[in-house]
């Protein structure tokens, strides 16, 4: 394990003292470094009445237990502080290490000892061996009570909200699209987990066509054969027009309005970053979108009809769209619990929808966390006129993905009522993707979000892996580069494949997101600055470095097929 600490916010000794004391650590700016350290360590033993016994079982050096050290007149040194800090972080002497000084250096321990309270403050914000920060571990052990109110430490929210007493509710948001052309605007199911509090809270929204289930058998039947000859194609011109991404103004007329949702749920699949922030007072919202189980419409797979349907949920959170308590449309309900501020989350298709939603410039979307997202669907399924299968999914194309995510058909009644029209629609889509020629076309242009990068207003955080052969790095490269330099944009570029970063031990990604969410969604002036690019150096294990930019401006274009 190596420490790569990007989330810690340096503070003054006075602030360090104030925050430590607010958590119950009896430290003082006037006390000695050793006295403060003893008070800090003793408080850390939350399950011991007799902390002397606990101190006797830790060591200050290879010859002295910690109780004996504190009872002596020896001063606190960097070596003693480092050895005890390792034990507080869950590392065991003689098992995990023998030479603490060498071990701390090998791990790139982030704290430079100077005897100040800032050392103790930063230690609380440092990852333990189990992957949590020390302060998160102590809060989980009841260092402070669950209060259902915001408690901040080092510019980040602590887990003080009761996740055993959540509102678990379902509403159906009215979208501006009618993708199945049945004469009614499509409703999309919205699954909400939110704290039981009496003040407005922000939300993390995950737009996932997979959320309510998938139709794998139907998709498998449509899987394309990979064999075939390459087509010799004459050159030609492509005519394109810009897709419409503006939605008409919504009808906000209330219909028998109610204040309480009429549908609940016991369980839903969740994303761990959302769960992490839910315990910190940020609501968690999951939306499958049009054409999915218990929603309406057809799966339009990446175009702006699908995107505008997701956008309608953010509009509802801000009072600009209607939601109903059920698909019978008998009662409207408002999001009176919401502050209106939102960040999107999720990987792959989920990160793709984060990219797309950002380009709508919707008010209320303050921050986007787009993990391994597609920026242009052509670059996912095609490359320079050739067919491309995403890594691990040979024979897949956008029509097979459409079948996979059209989970509305899993409801037998919906299948009975809509399957004939859906199959006609799917046939048109299969023709439009044009596997024969593989050319860029209006169909793919309608699914290219890069062209609207100048409309993005939200803070954007990308994560992507250099070894991602599913959503290849060209997608994050072109989106990052297309965003204006004036925009608050960031990238974690790692050496992994198509994976989430949230639980990685070598970097404090989730704590960095916590600090940024506090700024963007709660308006906390915490002074946090996330570097523009954080890059995992592949020349050294678990090593992350800061870069000023992503990509370069000194490339050379080489025409193909022309003599020098």
Give the active site residue among 7, 468, 506, 508.
468
Burial class of residue 123, CB neighbours in 10 A (0-12, 13-18, 19+): buried
C-alpha pair distances (Å), 314 with each of 299, 317, 503: 20, 5, 27
Spatial neighbors of 20 by CB under 8 A, at least 6 apart, are: 27, 40, 117, 120, 121, 124
Q: Which helix (H) or strand (E) holds 123?
A: helix 117-124
Are 410 and 213 within 8 A, CB to CB?
yes
The Cβ of residue 172 has, within 10 Å, a number of other Cβ atoms equal to: 23
Are 230 and 420 within 8 A, CB to CB?
no
* CA atoms within 13 Å, Cβ hemisphere of 11: 23
C-alpha pair distances (Å), 424 with each of 303, 420, 421: 18, 7, 5
Give the active site residue among 354, 498, 506, 508.
498
Are 320 and 424 within 8 A, CB to CB?
no
* C-alpha closest to that of 7 among 124, 87, 104: 124
Distance, in Å, from the CA atom of 325 to the CA atom of 335, rounded to the nearest integer, reads 12
Reduced to 3 states (helix: H, G, I; strand: E, B; else coil), residue 276 is helix
Tokens of 355: 């990219």
User: Is 552 known to be catalytic?
Assistant: no
User: Is 468 known to be catalytic?
Assistant: yes
Distance, in Å, from the CA atom of 163 to the CA atom of 159, rounded to the nearest integer, reads 9
Distance, in Å, from the CA atom of 23 to the CA atom of 117, rounded to the nearest integer, reads 14
* C-alpha closest to that of 337 among 519, 185, 200: 200
Query: What are φ and ψ of residue 216, in 5° steps?
Result: -65, -40
User: Is 114 known to be catalytic?
Assistant: no
Distance, in Å, from the CA atom of 270 to the CA atom of 145, rounded to the nearest integer, reads 25
Pairing of strands 156-157, 166-174: unpaired
Give the active site residue among 348, 354, 506, 512.
348
Pairing of strands 201-207, 263-264: unpaired
Query: What are φ and ψ of residue 59, in 5° steps?
Result: -120, 150
Active site residue ranges: 348, 468, 498
């Amino acid at each position: 394990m190596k420490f790569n600490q990007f989330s810690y916010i340096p503070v003054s000794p006075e602030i360090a003292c104030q925050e430590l004391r607010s958590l119950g650590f009896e430290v003082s700016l006037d006390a000695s470094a050793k006295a403060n350290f003893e008070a800090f360590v003793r408080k850390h033993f939350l399950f011991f009445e007799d902390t002397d016994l606990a101190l006797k079982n830790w060591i200050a050096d290879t010859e002295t237990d910690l109780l004996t050290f504190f009872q002596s007149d020896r001063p606190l040194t960097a070596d003693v502080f480092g050895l005890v800090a390792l034990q507080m972080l869950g590392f065991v002497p003689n098992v995990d290490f023998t030479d603490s000084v060498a071990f701390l250096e090998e791990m790139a321990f982030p704290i430079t000892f100077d005897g100040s309270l800032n050392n103790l403050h930063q230690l609380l914000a440092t990852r333990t061996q189990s992957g949590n920060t020390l302060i998160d571990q102590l809060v989980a052990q009841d260092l402070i009570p669950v209060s259902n109110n915001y408690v901040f430490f080092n510019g980040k929210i602590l887990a003080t909200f009761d996740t055993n007493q959540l509102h678990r509710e379902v509403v159906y948001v009215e979208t501006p699209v009618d993708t199945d052309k049945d004469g009614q605007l499509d409703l999309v199911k919205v699954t909400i987990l939110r704290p039981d509090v009496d003040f407005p809270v922000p939300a993390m929204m995950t737009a996932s066509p997979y959320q309510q289930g998938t139709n794998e058998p139907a998709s498998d039947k449509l899987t394309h054969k990979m064999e075939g000859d390459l087509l010799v194609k004459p050159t030609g011109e492509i005519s394109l027009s810009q897709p419409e991404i503006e939605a008409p103004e919504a009808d906000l007329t209330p219909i028998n309005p109610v204040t309480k949702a009429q549908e609940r749920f016991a369980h839903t699949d969740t994303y761990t970053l959302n769960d992490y922030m839910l315990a910190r007072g940020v609501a968690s919202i999951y939306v499958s979108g049009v054409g999915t189980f218990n929603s309406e419409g057809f799966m339009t797979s990446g175009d702006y009809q699908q995107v505008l349907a997701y956008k309608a949920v953010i509009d509802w959170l801000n009072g600009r769209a209607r939601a109903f308590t059920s698909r019978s449309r008998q009662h409207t309900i408002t999001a009176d619990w919401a502050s209106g501020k939102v960040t999107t989350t999720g990987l792959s298709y989920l990160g793709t929808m984060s990219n797309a939603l950002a380009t709508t410039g919707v008010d209320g979307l303050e921050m986007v966390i787009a993990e391994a997202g597609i920026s242009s669907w052509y670059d996912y399924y095609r490359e320079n006129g050739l067919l491309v299968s995403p890594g691990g999914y040979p024979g897949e194309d956008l029509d097979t993905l459409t079948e996979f995510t059209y989970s509305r058909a899993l409801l037998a009644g919906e299948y009975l009522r809509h399957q004939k029209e859906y199959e006609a629609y799917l046939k048109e889509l299969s023709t439009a993707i044009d596997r024969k020629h593989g050319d860029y076309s209006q169909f793919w242009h309608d699914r290219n979000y890069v062209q609207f990068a100048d409309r993005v207003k939200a803070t954007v955080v990308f994560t992507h892996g250099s070894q991602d052969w599913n959503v290849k790095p060209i997608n994050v490269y072109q989106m990052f580069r297309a965003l204006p330099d004036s925009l608050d944009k960031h990238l974690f570029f790692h050496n992994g494949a198509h994976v989430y970063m949230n639980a990685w031990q070598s970097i404090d990604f989730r704590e960095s997101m916590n600090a940024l969410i506090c700024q963007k969604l709660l308006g906390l002036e915490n002074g946090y600055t996330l570097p523009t690019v954080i890059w995992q150096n592949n020349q050294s294990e678990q090593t992350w470095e800061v870069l000023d930019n992503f990509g370069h401006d000194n490339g050379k274009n080489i025409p193909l097929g022309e003599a020098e």
